[in-house]
Chains A and B, each alone.
Chain A
Amino acid sequence: MKEKILLFLGADWDKSLLIGLPIALCVLVTLFLDFFGFEVPTALYVVDGLLILGAFLHFTITQGLVTYVFKRTGEALVVVMVIATLTFLLLRLVPGGPFDQEKALPPEVKANIEAKYKLNAPIYEQYFDYMAKLAQGDLGESYKYIGRPITDILAETLPSSVQLGIYALLISFLIGIPAGVYAASRHNTMADSLTMITAISGVALPSFLVAPLLILFFSFYLEWLPPALWEGPEYYILPIITLGVRPAAVIARLTRSSVLDVIRSDYIRTARAKGLSEMVILYKHVLKNSLIPVLTFSGPLVAGVLTGSFVIELIFAVPGMAKHLIQSVSNRDYPLILGTTLVFSLVLVFANLIVDLLYAYFDPRIKLT
């Protein structure tokens, strides 16, 4: 029995599965509990964190990638600093200031405000001031939400955004990969074409059109799900689907083409010639190899989910951070714009780093230097 399972899972990636599966299982259990509205014990998060960290360390050390990871982390920090600088400068190019409003302020009041936020200082001074504070982890105070530290705002809104993003990514993989494999296994048939047309349709509509359609159907026609808010599992479903549709479609297409690629390769032919069953071939050899391109796409995928989440957060009233990303720009709330931009950049940069590491892990031919 055990052999069979292992065979089914692909014996030659035994090792990766032995590490990967428990981690995935733990994380999934956590997500599952969280999704269904249970108060997840902190210990569980800690265990998840430790598991991931442990696997990560184990991998970097055994593969001799410690210096590489350090180097990349350093680079990432530099990139984030550059982004902070760019954004800071770009903000000053954008016309209109944070305290311009419909009812104009008397000059005295304006002077007081500018003095308080040091907006009357030369730009380079403001810049160095900001960077110095940033280095200490202080992102300043919001102009719009008077007196509120940016870190507080981020800490309060990030969890919902992360929840939304992770669920969306999860379902996009859960739908996208099987759909892609299915289409590839039925290559050049009706089923293949249908799956792919569906997938293309998934990227053909902007989410602000998909969302109202889903709300109309599920909330008002069927009356199954609430039309908005973020208060429990039934509330999560529509936003997650709306956000997940696009990445799911992209993953399906990607999986299909890379599975096709692998199927045509010589070693699969050899495997076939050896008389291994189709199922074994598909899971043991094909899936592993064809997941690599899908994996490399995870970086841009994270970016897409981050960007797309704004529409979802707005339409479904999710108390997340992407909303602040947009609204802070219209408010010219400089510290908040910078804060949210930095968080998003950090997520992107590290997503890319992790993807590169996973890439190296799954494909030993790739050397990271």
Chain B
Amino acid sequence: MRAVLMSLLSLTLILGTAGCTKKKKADYDLDIATTLRINISTEPPSLDWHKSTDTTSALIQDNMMEGLVEYNLTDKELGLKPALATEWRAENNNQTWFFTIRKGVKWTDGQELTAQQFIDGWQRLLTPATAAEYAYFLYGIKNARPFNEGKLTDFSQVGVSVTDKGELKVELTSPTAYFPYLLTHHSTFPVRLDVIAKHGDQWIEPGKIVTLGAYTLKVWDHDKAIVLERNEGYYGEKAKTKHILAYMINELSTALNLFNAGKIDAQTQLPSTELRELRKRAEYRETGILSIYYYGFNVKKPPLDNPIVRKAISHAIDRKEVTQMLDGGQIPLTSWVPPGMFGYEPNMGTEFSPDKAKQLLEQAGYKDRSKFPKIEIGFNTNDDHKRVAENIQAQLKRNLGIDVELKNEEWKVYLKSLKTDPPHIFRLGWLADYPDPDNFLNLMTSYSENNHTRWGSKEFDDLIAKAVGLATQEMRAQVYTEAQKILTEKDVPVAPIYASVAHSLVAPRVVDFPFNSMQRFVFKGVSLK
């Protein structure tokens, strides 16, 4: 027994020392001088661009794939520029669109890009069995919706086809001025069905995935990091930085620590209480983004069924106080469309006026404040939402003399409450899917899935439907002004609070970091000093 054990022991030690030669790789053998190190916060839920729905996956996909068109990130207004389509045009009052596919674009396995690969991708997105959440992105296309519902099984009836000239032709159900914007989105990217057929669900792993963007997927170390490598066969100007190393660090303060320790080059989300100090640093940047933060009113719950009460509350909230408290450069907002796109109306809506607010409340019959029913402000559990809610609670007490209770719920519980029985007042936000006011105003139509106020106005719905078909931006802007008046001055089912701002720290060695209002992080133009 003893001898056996002793020999086993010595064997172990020998094996142990024998194995001592190889060191584990820590940073994937990358040269830091040519590697941009970023943090994408979490493991990307999926790199399959038809199935993912989150910004983390989108960031990786946007760097290794492209759509028909892409944002011109150097343009303040975020215009579009050609990508896989060299040119496009609309006919039939913005209802039929034609895209000329770029010639000579090669996938990473050497095959050439074809128009059919777009149709393949869209068919895949819309096929019910794919269960793609973003299928609704293409619902504007003729027959796309019934196909996704399973009512229509013949995809050739869906309004997308290749013309004799090799153009991609898209027929829409109604005029849509902003349609090309949708094509910047990863869910509309082309796909190689043969690759998917070959590898199944695993096709998105390095070595299997076939892409055509400026970077390729080199390493996907699940739950740790992703490494992207420059695609030398890219059709356009090659990426300036050889590698991108994307860590998955969830906790903001941890990411900040790593930035401070020089382990990452850019961090695009910062702990909000630190902003006051961080903004003193040279690496700090604030970027306006197309996103609003608002409080909605449940217009079916008394006393908020009375528009005068809603108006009184909206008048009693000093947005400036909220943004000062948050101290992150947010822009106080009383109208609906955020700054950074047409339709922004800085002087519209309910201005801060405690006198007006009190007067309105009395007009509504609550001279005696004790008669004012108890109302609740609901928000999902989060430190910043809590701070805003606590501040607005205090403001309503101070400016209007009414007591409101706070109720926070865990995110998914909160979403469920919003769907079934929204609290009197609830917090929500909206981040643009495409930089067009339609995306914001459509949100409040009576048929919108995302309108939790229970408010609906035929007049408003009609205006929104009318605007998308109009030819010029000026004409559309006029209609949107009218719609916003109804929303923020007449019926007031919502109280916009502020337009959001993104905060980032970027190391000095990073040149041309893609700050933009859509938070599209495409790194091909980034170089390192």
Contacts and interface: CB of A to CB of B under 8 A. Distances in A.
A229 interface: yes
B254 A227 contact: yes
Given A101-B53, A108-B148, A109-B136, A316 B18 contact: no
B158 to A, nearest CB: 14
Interface in B408-425: 410-417, 419
A144 B2 CA distance: 53
B128 A112 contact: yes
A317 interface: yes
A112 B148 contact: yes
A19 B5 contact: yes
A363 to B, nearest CB: 23
B223 A227 contact: no
B133 A109 contact: yes
A116 B27 CA distance: 38
B19 interface: yes
Interface string B118-151: 0000000000111111011001000001001110
Interface residues of B, number: 69
B11 interface: yes
B133 A29 contact: no
A96 B449 contact: no
Contacts of A220: 257, 260-261
Interface in A115-158: 115-117, 144-148, 152-153, 156-157
Interface in B18-70: 18-20, 22-24, 26-27, 43, 45-46, 48, 51-53
Given A39-B23, A319-B223, A44 B15 contact: yes
Contacts of B136: 105-106, 108-109
A228 B258 CA distance: 7
Interface stretch (B107-115, B243-251, B478-486, B492-500): B243-251
A254 to B, nearest CB: 30
B249 A228 contact: yes
B397 interface: no
A215 B257 contact: yes
B366 to A, nearest CB: 33
Interface stretch (A30-38, A166-174, A192-200): A30-38
A327 to B, nearest CB: 8
A146 B52 contact: yes
Contacts of B261: 219-220, 226-227
B27 A231 contact: yes
Contact of A47 (B12, B18, B53, B411): B12
Nearest to A50: B8
B374 interface: no
A29 B129 CA distance: 51
Contacts of B387: none
Given A26-B9, A47-B11, A109-B135, A39 B263 contact: no
A316 B254 contact: yes
A264 B335 CA distance: 79
Interface of A: 18-19, 22, 25-26, 29-30, 33, 37-41, 43-44, 47-48, 50-51, 94-97, 99-106, 108-109, 111-113, 115-117, 144-148, 152-153, 156-157, 212, 215, 219-220, 226-232, 314-317, 319, 323, 327, 330, 332
Given A47-B15, A330-B410, 18 more contacts: A26-B12, A29-B13, A33-B16, A41-B16, A44-B19, A95-B413, A95-B416, A102-B429, A104-B450, A108-B145, A112-B132, A112-B135, A226-B261, A231-B26, A315-B253, A315-B254, A317-B251, A317-B258
11 contacts: A25-B9, A30-B16, A37-B26, A39-B19, A41-B15, A112-B131, A220-B260, A226-B261, A227-B254, A228-B254, A314-B254
